[in-house]
Structure 1
Amino acid sequence: MANMILTRELFRHMCEEQEKLDAQIYQSRDLKEPTLKGLDIAYTSEANEAVKELKKDWKWWTTKERDRERFIEELADCFHFVASMANKTRTVGYGYLAIELEYKKVSRSAREHYPDEDLVYKAVKGTVQESIASLIKIAEVLGATTDEIMTAFEDSLEKNYARMASGY
């Protein structure tokens, strides 16, 4: 089985960058940190947005095709909330292992076969670990690379800083 495109190093980097972003958000806006439930709700919303970009892969009645680039952008947004959760619970290393474990499960079921109803279902209905692992596997089947995921996360991070600067 090939290695997951979300490497341990990339996940650690995402968590470090997200911790800086979160600190700036809380400080600049005098906000208290969200609860894990709040982060879970935000993550679930982003996961649904990612799956929405897969359109015809699950929406059998539409003629609209998937938007791979938008899917990758939405996946990057998902990583922000996964990283925030890992940082909040101080479980960055364990968080990665939990994602990796779920990834191995979904990889066995997906076997490069996509679209796969179970994979899409877990992306929106599973635990956070099942969901992100499913989204990662879908990204891989769509040809995404570690570098592409890192670039998408960095672009999303840049947009978030720009939004803060503009008062968004």
Structure 2
Amino acid sequence: MEFKKPKTFGEILMLQQYLDKNIHSSRERTLEDITMSFIAECVEFNEETKFSHKTWKTKEYDKAKELEELTDIFFFFAQMVNYCDTNLDEFTKIAYLIDLDFNEWNKKYIVEGHIPVLYLIQSVTKNHLLTVSDLLIEICQKLGYTKEDILESYWNKWQKNIKRIGKEWN
């Protein structure tokens, strides 16, 4: 099977679905597992931003690491959306709206400053996927990332993750 760099969030969902189906887990992955992974990545992401909660640490800001952690959040967000496809009508509606939101990527959030990571965590624990989508786009825009940055970073990380199957990952 040949894969190519995604151009839409819908294509990210397909790549993520393939990756998830090929990772052999010791047990079935639950929505709670995915949510915990998402939250863990949010904390790791926060630690790489200029707005880190670790005010006692002096750490040189690295935009590449920030983008890598933000991309990891998108991996678990895609995994979560795919997991919720048990109700096909609802999944189709949610996936469509997220894809529309992601692909339009209107420059709404021009003001720099506060990035709503805690609100993102709160929204994901309530399974408010459309709010999570909006918040992810807001965070990307506030930090100066484009849709293309996310698609490129996702693609690069996805290719690395595929190679990890059967080696670092079971």
TM superposition score normalised by structure 1: 0.72
d(CA) in 2 for partners of 1:38, 1:52: 21
Letter in 2 for 1:44: I
Letter in 2 for 1:114: E
Q: What SS class does the counterpart of residue 8 from structure 2 fall into?
A: helix
Number of the residue aligned with 1:18 = 16
Number of the residue aligned with 1:97 = 97
Letter in 2 for 1:84: Q
d(CA) in 2 for partners of 1:157, 1:23: 13
Number of the residue aligned with 2:104 = none
Is 2:81 aligned against 1:86? yes
- 1:143 to partner: Cα distance: 1.9
- 1:112 to partner: Cα distance: 2.4
The count of corresponding residues between Structure 1 and Structure 2 is 149
Letter in 2 for 1:74: E
Q: Is the CA contact 1:39–1:84 (under 8 Å) kept in the aligned structure 2?
A: yes
Structure 1: gaps spanning 5 or more residues: 1-8, 102-106
- 1:121 to partner: Cα distance: 2.9
Moved more, 9-18 or 59-68: 59-68
- 1:60 to partner: Cα distance: 4.2
> Equivalent pairs: percent with the same residue?
27
Distance 1:99 1:151, change over 3 A: closer
Q: Is the CA contact 2:45–2:70 (under 8 Å) kept in the aligned structure 1?
A: yes
Number of the residue aligned with 1:43 = 38
Higher helix share: 1
d(CA) in 2 for partners of 1:61, 1:112: 29
Number of the residue aligned with 2:162 = 161
Q: Deviations over 1:126-164 (max 9, x none)?
A: 436445543432222222122211111011111211211
TM superposition score normalised by structure 2: 0.71
Q: Is the CA contact 2:9–2:99 (under 8 Å) kept in the aligned structure 1?
A: no
